[in-house]
Amino acid sequence: MTNLTARGRALLGVGVVGAGTGWGLAQPAVVTASLLIGLLPLLGLLVVRRSRFVLGSARTVTSTRLPFGDEAEVVLTVENGSRWPSGALLLEDAVPESLGEPTRLVLDRVPPRAQRAVRYAISGRQRGRAQLGPLTVTVTDPFGTARVERAFTATTPVVVTPQVIPLGPPGDRLSTGSRGDATHHAMASRGDDDLLPREHRPGDDMRRIHWRATARQGELMVRREEQAWHSAITLILDDRAQAHDGRTGARSSFEWAVSAIASIGVHYLRQGWRVTIVTTSGHVMAEARGGTADEVDLVLQSLAEARLIDTPMSPSLGVDTDAVTALVAVVGRLSDESARTLARPVAGFAGCLLLESARAEHLRSQGWRVVQWSPGSPIADAWSSLAPSFAGASR
């Protein structure tokens, strides 16, 4: 789209008024000067319409995976592929609210067959996926009286991952009745033939049958899958909309819960644990093992997509309590029914970060170790009060 700029409209207006005034006063010099002034924006309009600026653009971001609250730099490069120099360029890159403010940058004239680059900063204001762009370039004539817009279609995806808080040394106590530390060390010393078997359940793979225990017990017994000496932890994220304060952003209870899950998950991954993240709606968000950058990235990318949903807590959270060393839940408000839904593992540690204390005693009676939190609580402090004593153990 080609049109006059504010300067061009002003000059055209001055030219018309001046020519009319000069004509009325019988001043040929004033008429001539006014016509020249009024002709200037018309010439500019003709120039930008007839000029065939060949513009190219590129966008690079220092990091397309941005931790919540961090900043990154965006570099916009514009190339003038024509034989004529361009006028001043106005660059407008579409920036969503989750990454910053709308961006308008002025670039000096670009010589023919040359490139110019400008930079601006973005920040991870809101967790999730976003798109930078598209870019719109406004080209003006050398006098800035007329302009033409060129729109590009390319966009750049950026993922804002949850904030990960470094966690300090684990606590040195387990709740009454918790056997995580003892179980961990006891099972770590056993071989495959000494695994604690359990009774056969419908759906169990026949290849898991423990024949020696079956002969001894007189009923089908199977080996437990992925025993606790594999250092496995399952994290439960409460994604029920009714369980949180309804707000979004850094100060919301749900954002605190997501950041806590991310911090605990990364903490254990980097120590070689197997980490599984599930939601209270029964969705398995991520399964990772080992502390490689790819595994950590998998967990953070999956949590970047976490959203509140209007569903009750699933009757079956899909947690294999026989396969974990520890189970940690970060939950919001609990009703009596949802409190009963949380399962207690047969062996291992069970810890719960609870938004409200109304159901704390009920959970403790089921064997959970409970610590209350609020959106203003430091995650590291809450975790240090909850963490099992074997947090540093690995296979």
**What tens digit of pLDDT does each residue of 28-77 get?**
898 899 889 888 888 877 777 766 667 889 999 999 999 988 999 999 99
**Helical packing angle, 253-269 and 379-386, nearest 10°:** 60
Predicted confidence band of residue 343 (pLDDT cuts 50, 70, 90): low
Over range 271-287, report the average pLDDT. 91
Residue 122 predicted with pLDDT over 90: yes
pLDDT of residue 347: 57
pLDDT of residue 90: 87
Predicted confidence band of residue 246 (pLDDT cuts 50, 70, 90): confident
DSSP secondary structure code for residue 243 in this structure: G
Over range 3-14, report the average pLDDT. 85
| Mean pLDDT estimate for the chain | 82
DSSP secondary structure code for residue 122 in this structure: E
User: How distant, in Å, are the alpha carbons of 128, 262, 286, 288, 372 from that of 266?
Assistant: 18, 6, 12, 10, 22
% of the chain beyond a pLDDT of 90: 41
Q: How far is it, in rounded angstroms, from Cα 94 to Cα 127? A: 18
The 71-80 sheet, strands edge to edge? 55-61, 71-80, 114-123
> Rounded to two decimals, what is the model's pTM?
0.73
C-alpha closest to that of 303 among 343, 272, 263, 339 = 263
Cβ 367 vs Cβ 360: under 8 Å:
no
Tens digits of per-residue pLDDT, 169-186? Answer: 543 333 333 334 434 443
More confident residue, 290 or 132: 132
Cβ 314 vs Cβ 280: under 8 Å:
yes
pLDDT of residue 176: 32
Phi, psi of 175 (to 5 degrees): -70, 160
Q: How far is it, in rounded angstroms, from Cα 385 to Cα 265? A: 17
Please report, for the chain, the start and end positions of each structural domain, with discontinuous segments joined by +. Answer: 2-49, 55-161, 180-194+226-386
Task: Determine which of 246-255, 256-265, 364-373 has the lowest per-residue pLDDT on average.
Answer: 246-255
Phi, psi of 232 (to 5 degrees): -110, 135
Architecture of the domain whose range is 180-194+226-386: 3-Layer(aba) Sandwich (3.40)
Cβ 345 vs Cβ 325: under 8 Å:
no
Q: Which homologous superfamily does the CATH classification assign to the domain defined by 55-161? A: Immunoglobulins (2.60.40.10)
Q: How far is it, in rounded angstroms, from Cα 393 to Cα 395? A: 7
Give me the residue label for tokens 């996926």.
129
Residues 6+ apart with CB under 8 A from 202: none
